[in-house]
Amino acid sequence: MNEYTVSIHLCLQICLVSVLQATVKVSPLIEKVSDHKDFKKLLRTRTNVLVLYTKSATSGDSKLKLLSDVAQVVKGQGTIAWVNCGDSEGRKLCKKVKVDPSSKSSGIDLLHYKDGTFHTEYNRPATFKSMVAFLKDPTGAPLWEENPEAKDVFHVESEKDFRKLLKREERPILMMFYAPWCGVCKRMQPIFQQAATETRGTFVLAGMNVHPAEFDGLKQEYNVKGYPTFCYFEKGKFLHHYENYGATAKDIADWMKNPQPPQPKAPEVPWSETDSPVFHLTDESFDGFLEEHPSALVMFYAPWCGHCKKMKPEYDEAAEYLNKDPNSPGVLAAVDTTIHKAVGERFKISGFPTVKYFEKGVEKFTLPHLRSKEKIIEFLQNPQAPPPPEQSWEERPSSVSHLGMEDFREALKKKKHALVMFYAPWCPHCKNAVPHFTTAADLFKEDRKIAYAAVDCTKGQNHELCKQESVEGYPTFNYYNYGKFAEKYNGDRVVSDTVLKTQKKKTIKNGKFLKTTQKHFSFTTFVSTSKLCRGYMQP
């Protein structure tokens, strides 16, 4: 072989390598790992990692392209890494972690690691939507459309697709607007998909997750106030809601053959007109009744109030018990303040139900804790002042900064590192996280560059602020760097494992100060993202 031929071969090899490398256009957001120490460090510092192992530089081309798109969306919530088991360094790493993608017909292995350890092999559909959903909630249930038994349901992903469906489809459509976390939706989905199979070709049964804020306009348009909401369309026009939430697949199929609007609900009989053992008072009878009954509990209510409806049976039962007792310690009365407004205004009733105790016609106590038959009777047998109301988190002294719409931006832009907890006071998972979050804040209270802050999303204009910060459930933890959102925190929520590392700063781990020069910011302090109190307005 002469020198010219050797040069040609060398040139062709270089060109071939260049072509092979060019076929793999990897996003800079995908971590390329080949060293075992770097791999262990990645798992140690990231809590949610999806790793693509390939048998060669080119065997994962299609997956790398897809994962590059996924990485853009899950930035800050999950990490995607790539290990090429075909090169010398990558081969050593794959051997150490006992992964052999060459044994797979596809030449790839896709494995997920959670909190530093192997979690599961990714075996859900290799689609953009499924992968994004998985990395946002690795322990959550698969998407509805991933269920093979839901193949006959038309799954709508965007408002644009929804409008297209209405425009082009000649067959009648029953649309199920749902939220992934909704229990009733989960119960009805198998029934709905069975009905879709039974009516295939004649009708279209479609499903659409409209929980994200981007669909607020659509929800308003079709009066979606809860999940699921079923809307029936013919030739693109909305005609009826379907409201049989206990339906079978046959019920749905039969209704589609003869769709009718929901039957108007019979007007609810006012509580005061039922055979109730409670004394129902008016503006005119109120004072006279209390003069005649020296020991009385009065429930101020509104007919539409859900908590009042829940309390009514307990209140009725307690009244019946007391009325039968010849030595009864008191009586129970009620006032509908939507009708008898003068009494409501006089006692400054601002919420429902409000229960007040009157002794010899004089108001003594407001009793928010009396809700059950047993508690009501127990109180009347020995009337005592209620315990003082528990202080709100905001009222309790701590190192947590409580922010609102008016000072949120200004406060955070001064802090190099800030973790913000968006919460609702009624949310049980938030209540569980509060002591850990407060303790973590106390650990760093001396560092002016670090802030732990909280926003009550139910308070005033904070509702709008929480929507702006993409809060879809409670609690949500966002990390900010000088006021700019950097990532969502998805780690554990127990303070004993708090890790905070900043450039050339002391670090706390398990309550001890450490030294580090590594620039990394990680809170492994609170509960996984699957435990959220969903919805802005649900008490």
| 427 annotated active-site | no
Structure-token pair, residue 95 = 């051997």
Q: Is the peptide bond before 303 cis (omega within 30 degrees of 0)?
A: no
Among the residues of 325-454, which ranges form H helices? 341-346, 373-381, 408-412, 428-443
Q: Could you say which of 182, 427, 457, 466 is catalytic?
A: 182
HSE-up of residue 340 (Cα within 13 Å, Cβ side): 18
Q: In which residue are the tokens 């702006």 written?
A: 468
> How far is 226 from 526, CA to CA, in rounded Å?
29
> How far is 527 from 439, CA to CA, in rounded Å?
15
452 beta partners = 419
Q: In which residue are the tokens 């998407």 written?
A: 143
> How far is 344 from 283, CA to CA, in rounded Å?
9
Is residue 370 within 8 Å of 379, Cβ to Cβ? yes
Look at residue 519 and give its three-state secondary structure. Answer: coil
Q: Could you say which of 185, 231, 427, 466 is catalytic?
A: 185
Q: Could you say which of 85, 231, 308, 430 is catalytic?
A: 308
> How far is 514 from 499, CA to CA, in rounded Å?
10
Burial of 157 (0-12, 13-18, 19+ CB in 10 A): exposed
Considering only CA atoms, which of 310, 279, 538, 286 is closest in space to residue 425?
Answer: 538
| 185 annotated active-site | yes
| 308 annotated active-site | yes
Q: Which residues are catalytic?
A: 182, 185, 305, 308
